[in-house]
Amino acid sequence: MAKWETVEVTTDVLICGGGMAACGAAVEAAHWAKKNNLKVTLVDKAAMDRSGAVAMGLSAINQYVDINSGANTVKDYIDYVRNDLMGITREDLVANIARHVDSSVHLFEKWGLPIWKDKEGKYVHEGRWQLMINGESYKIIVAEAAKNALGVDNIYERVFITEPLIDDQGRCVGAVGFSVRENKFYVFKAKAVLAMMGGAVHVFKPRSTGEGLGRSWYPPFNSGASAYFTIKAGAEMTCQEVRFIPVRFKDAYGPVGAWFLLFKSRATNALGEAYMQTRRDELDKWKPYGLVKPVPANLRNWLMMLDVMEGKGPIYMRTEEALQRISEEVPDEKERKKKLKELESEAWEDFLDMTISQALLWASTNTFPEEKPSEIAACEPYFIGSHSGASGAWVSGPEDLAPKEYFWGYPNMTTVQGLFAAGDASGASSHKFSSGSHAEGRIAAKGAISFVADNGDGGDVPDAKIEELKERILRPLDLFEQNQNASTDPDVNPNYIRPKQFMFRLQKIMDEYAGGVSTNFTTSEKMLEKGLELLEFLREDAEKLGAENHHELLRCWENVHRMWQAEAHMRTIMFREETRWPGYYFRADKPEMKDDWKVFANCKYDPKANEWSMMKRDIISITESAPAMA
């Protein structure tokens, strides 16, 4: 194999990732680092301008609490999140983000993000918490501020973080990774590390096949690095069972928020029945959360799925009905036509700002939203702690809000000393979205700087250990090179498995045994046991991954990361002996929600013993409020 240079970078605070949380962390860390004379370094597997979930842009900022105007309180937001997650949420974390998020939004505007304004100059809301933006360049704007704050010399792009570095006291003291363009193996040594590498997609078999394979709602480049990094560091993880299944415009995954909230559109089955009305009785079964407003996202999915299972699909977003209704509110005919044109253009922009492929699909299928409805469907499951899922690391809350059970010194520090998490990487604090992830990144960065100021250096990791990691991480290149001539088809070889084939195997296991699309998101203890058995074989074969080039090496490690996310997920679904989020997953052998399962289901991997442990953690409310009934 060609020689790979080892590049060592010594820093104080290492930010892994370059997305919304990482950009927030960069801005905040740079500020506090200057005061404390510390160095901050950021590593992204891609180019920050367009990396992560916001790559294509977004058409809304989904978390804006608007505290200053008195429109909402932090408690209102806590109620919203708790109810949406069927009671399972860390209120201290949600509150900490909610009280800081508005300032991130104001920064975005200051940096040049166009937020829609009405005639009086007030932000245009999509819904109670959501603001409309012209957000095609959202990520570029946020990344520019981060780059300016850190300085480009402190930023490493196109370096894939593979593994955490842990000293003999169990403290996280850095990370290793490799360049996806050059023969460079990177060793980052730091006093505190921030894991902010997004969530995971393509753990489950996607609906898209063939040439459309990479198309999913969640960005294909987020492949479970945060979960892997924190799990392998030995951090306690939470809500690993809470996958997110969004409902999206079918096949191109266009957003539905603007249609439901801004245009107040209905969704109906093929018979014209609105499942949110016709299936209302079902919500009683999931009391008290079934009766809150808005109806939790998973239950909205569930009512739709019941229609689909009864053969009443396709399901449609009634765009034509909504646009006609709004335009008809305008009495003057000429003005009405103008209004319809305006609405049409808003509808197209909603897609063009964040899911261009949906606009292409509309164009290629001659869809005029004002004339005919469009199909919507439940996507495949994703792991995203920042949206309506909740999976991530179990982190410390803030000193002034967290109960003692949830506080261990520094906000957003995981249970591993010196390792912090935010955005999709931190769990049990859903509905932070892009803006809340940025705010949480800032909170975590400030915590990390305090940690470094208080604790100084960690221990060193021996060179032999680093060499071992380097050999292990680059091994797929060797395996391919040495064995590529053993067969005529490079995809089929007795001595290695290519990452794509490996991914297909993982996806098949998850799809069939862990409640993917093919099984209508249904699983059971027995199915999970079988899935875990098959996953063990896959884990053995992970040692035989082969890579033809840098790009495939990246694919190999993305899939190893996904595999660990998959294992944490299956183990936790099995541990939680109930069904709490129908519409996300259904446990056929435990079909009801149980009071004694109103707890966090946490898990932890012990790297030394190579063992998982599962534990319940109490839910401690800081507001003591009952769910707001409809």
Tokens coding 234: 């030995």
Tokens coding 33: 């680092």
Q: Write down the least CB distance from residue 298 to ligand AMP, Å.
A: 11
Which residue of 189, 387, 442, 576 would you call a contact of ligand SFD, by CB under 6 A?
Answer: 387
434 carries an active-site annotation: yes
259 carries an active-site annotation: no
Q: Write down the least CB distance from residue 130 to ligand AMP, Å.
A: 5
424 touches ligand SFD by CB under 6 A: yes
Q: Report the residue number, 355 or 602, with the smaller CB distance to ligand AMP.
A: 355
Q: Write down the least CB distance from residue 391 to ligand AMP, Å.
A: 17
- The angle subtended at Cα 468 by Cα 174 and Cα 532, nearest 5°, is 85
Identify each DSSP E strand in 454-540 by its residue range.
522-523
- The angle subtended at Cα 297 by Cα 56 and Cα 87, nearest 5°, is 120
- The angle subtended at Cα 589 by Cα 504 and Cα 290, nearest 5°, is 95
Q: Report the residue number, 256 or 303, with the smaller CB distance to ligand SFD.
A: 256
423 touches ligand SFD by CB under 6 A: yes
Q: Write down the least CB distance from residue 324 to ligand SFD, Å.
A: 24
Which of ligand AMP, ligand SFD, none has residue 52 at its interface (CB below 5 to 8 Å by kind)? ligand SFD
Q: Write down the least CB distance from residue 501 to ligand SFD, Å.
A: 21
Place of tokens 């395996």: 479
Q: Write down the least CB distance from residue 277 to ligand AMP, Å.
A: 13
Which of ligand AMP, ligand SFD, none has residue 160 at its interface (CB below 5 to 8 Å by kind)? ligand SFD
42 touches ligand SFD by CB under 6 A: no
Q: Report the residue number, 26 or 593, with the smaller CB distance to ligand SFD.
A: 26
Q: Report the residue number, 130 or 414, with the smaller CB distance to ligand AMP.
A: 130
Phi, psi of 101 (to 5 degrees): -65, -35
Number of residues that bind ligand SFD (CB under 6 A): 43
Closest-by-Cβ residue to ligand AMP is: 257
219 touches ligand SFD by CB under 6 A: yes
Tokens coding 415: 């249970």
Omega within 30 of 0 (cis) for the link into 403: no
List contacts with ligand AMP (CB under 6 A).
62, 127, 130, 246, 255-257, 260-261, 294, 297, 300, 388
Whether the CB-CB separation of 579 and 586 falls below 8 Å is answered with: yes
248 carries an active-site annotation: yes
Q: Report the residue number, 127 or 314, with the smaller CB distance to ligand AMP.
A: 127
Tokens coding 528: 């999970």
Characterize 190-218 residue by residue with b for buried, 16 or more Cβ atoms within 10 angstroms of its Cβ, and e for exposed: bbbbbbbbbbbbbbbbbbbeeeeeebbbb
Q: Write down the least CB distance from residue 434 to ligand SFD, Å.
A: 3
Query: Rounded CA gap, 90 and 270, in Å?
Result: 39
392 touches ligand SFD by CB under 6 A: no
CA-wise closest residue to 27 among 142, 130, 197: 142
Query: Rounded CA gap, 279 and 276, in Å?
Result: 6
Closest-by-Cβ residue to ligand SFD is: 19
Given 44, 91, 92, 126, the catalytic residue: 126
Mark residue 49 as left, alpha or beta (left: phi above 0; alpha: psi -120 to 50; beta: remaining): alpha
Query: Rounded CA gap, 586 and 573, in Å?
Result: 10
Pairing relationship of beta strands 184-189 and 5-10 according to DSSP bridges: parallel
Residues in the chain: 630
Place of tokens 């297909």: 504
Omega within 30 of 0 (cis) for the link into 288: yes
Binding positions for ligand SFD, 347-386, rule CB under 6 A? 354-355, 386
Q: Report the residue number, 78 or 506, with the smaller CB distance to ligand AMP.
A: 78
Tokens coding 14: 């290492």
Q: Report the residue number, 99 or 248, with the smaller CB distance to ligand AMP.
A: 248
Q: Write down the least CB distance from residue 202 to ligand SFD, Å.
A: 13
Whether the CB-CB separation of 557 and 160 falls below 8 Å is answered with: yes
564 carries an active-site annotation: no
Question: Could you tell me the CA-to-CA distances from 240 to 212, 237, 424 in Å, in that order?
Answer: 28, 7, 12
Q: Write down the least CB distance from residue 242 to ligand SFD, Å.
A: 15
Question: Could you tell me the CA-to-CA distances from 315 to 1, 150, 303 in Å, in that order?
Answer: 53, 47, 11
- Which neighbouring-strand residues pair with 604? 613
Which of ligand AMP, ligand SFD, none has residue 54 at its interface (CB below 5 to 8 Å by kind)? ligand SFD
Given 51, 83, 434, 559, the catalytic residue: 434
20 touches ligand SFD by CB under 6 A: yes
468 carries an active-site annotation: no
Question: Could you tell me the CA-to-CA distances from 616 to 93, 239, 626 in Å, in that order?
Answer: 18, 11, 22
Which of ligand AMP, ligand SFD, none has residue 515 at its interface (CB below 5 to 8 Å by kind)? none
Residues 6+ apart with CB under 8 A from 556: 476, 499, 502, 545, 546, 547
CA-wise closest residue to 23 among 139, 190, 162: 139
Q: Can you say whether the dihedral through the CA atoms of 614, 620, 621, 626 is positive or negative?
A: positive
17 touches ligand SFD by CB under 6 A: yes
Q: Write down the least CB distance from residue 175 to ligand SFD, Å.
A: 8
Given 90, 100, 125, 387, the catalytic residue: 387
Tokens coding 460: 């060193």
Which of ligand SFD, ligand AMP, none has residue 300 at its interface (CB below 5 to 8 Å by kind)? ligand AMP
387 carries an active-site annotation: yes
Residue 328, CB half-sphere, CA atoms under 13 Å: how many?
A: 7
Phi, psi of 541 (to 5 degrees): -75, -15
161 touches ligand SFD by CB under 6 A: yes
CA-wise closest residue to 608 among 237, 164, 232: 232
555 carries an active-site annotation: no
Q: Report the residue number, 59 or 559, with the smaller CB distance to ligand AMP.
A: 59
102 touches ligand SFD by CB under 6 A: no
Which residue of 96, 265, 319, 434 would you call a contact of ligand SFD, by CB under 6 A?
Answer: 434
Which of ligand AMP, ligand SFD, none has residue 410 at its interface (CB below 5 to 8 Å by kind)? none
Q: Write down the least CB distance from residue 285 to ligand SFD, Å.
A: 27
Query: Rounded CA gap, 564 and 226, in Å?
Result: 11
* Only segment of 214-222, 289-297, 471-479, 538-546 that touches ligand SFD (CB under 6 A): 214-222
CA-wise closest residue to 541 among 578, 506, 583: 506
**Binding flags for ligand SFD, 254-273, as an x/- string (CB under 6 A):** -x-x----------------
222 touches ligand SFD by CB under 6 A: yes
List interacting residues with ligand SFD (CB under 6 A).
16-22, 43-46, 51-54, 58-62, 160-161, 196-198, 217-219, 221-222, 225, 255, 257, 354-355, 386-387, 423-424, 433-435, 437
Instruction: Show which residues are catalytic.
Output: 62, 126, 217, 248, 350, 387, 434
